[in-house]
Amino acid sequence: MTTTRSLDDLDRFAFRLGRLVKQQYPQLMTQGFTLIDLEERLLPYRDTRREMADSSPMAWEHTMLRLIAGERGILTCEEPLRGACVQALTMASPTLGMVRMWSTSVLTLNASELATEAPRPVGRAHADNGCRFCGGRLPDGRALTFCPHCGLDLTKRQCAACSTELEANWRFCVTCGRGADAQTDAYAEAYAAGAPPLLEAQAGRAA
């Protein structure tokens, strides 16, 4: 019998990292990046914590160490750094501070291990009432915030262009301005062509 593994925070980090590199920093697929880049630019705590099942700083550091140590083959790094991460993970309270002496070590992505498909937008119906992240069946007749299978926040979504986290009812990305779904992209294109009456009326009401 085949057992399906539930998504955990390492999967979430891999998804975010793969999408971010593919959409914004494709050069990193070949040239790699440093531990500093990973910690401060690619997977900073301030951006990743709201997607985590356990959003504590300690859990973030633990997941980062798992990622750098090569768990599930997502990243490859120099052996001294990998070994230091493996050793840190044996400690009661592992932190990235234990491996910062290798902060300029180069890490590389294993493209075959990355999930880069953007999640389906919140609010879109699915025939099987499944989670848009993991596909697990959602309970009927209940107001849900988190998926009971993978733990991801069902009330949030991310901009397909820049990965900014969006509230479920936002129509446009607050960072890049892209429409949050196909309908709002169409609105944006129409607005650029001459502001249709509907958008003018909405703007008037907002004013």
**pLDDT (tens digit per residue) in 17-42:** 988 888 888 899 889 999 999 999 99
Residue 104 CA to residue 47 CA, distance in Å, equals 22
Q: What is the CB-side half-sphere exposure of residue 18 using CA atoms within 13 A?
A: 20
* Per-residue pLDDT reduced to its tens digit, 139-190: 887 778 888 877 777 777 766 656 667 776 777 777 777 776 544 444 444 4
Q: Which amino acid is at 95?
A: T
3-class DSSP state of 116: coil
Listed residue (11, 3, 2) closest to 150, CA to CA: 11
Alpha helices in 38-158 (DSSP H): 45-48, 57-68, 79-88
CB 175 within 8 A of CB 164: yes
Prediction pTM value: 0.58
Question: In what side-by-side order are the strands of the sheet with 75-77?
Answer: 33-34, 106-109, 75-77
pLDDT at 203: 40
Nearest-10 Cα torsion for 155, 160, 163, 164: -60
Which band of pLDDT confidence, cut at 50, 70 and 90, is reported for residue 128?
low
Task: Specify the higher pLDDT residue, 105 or 143.
Answer: 105
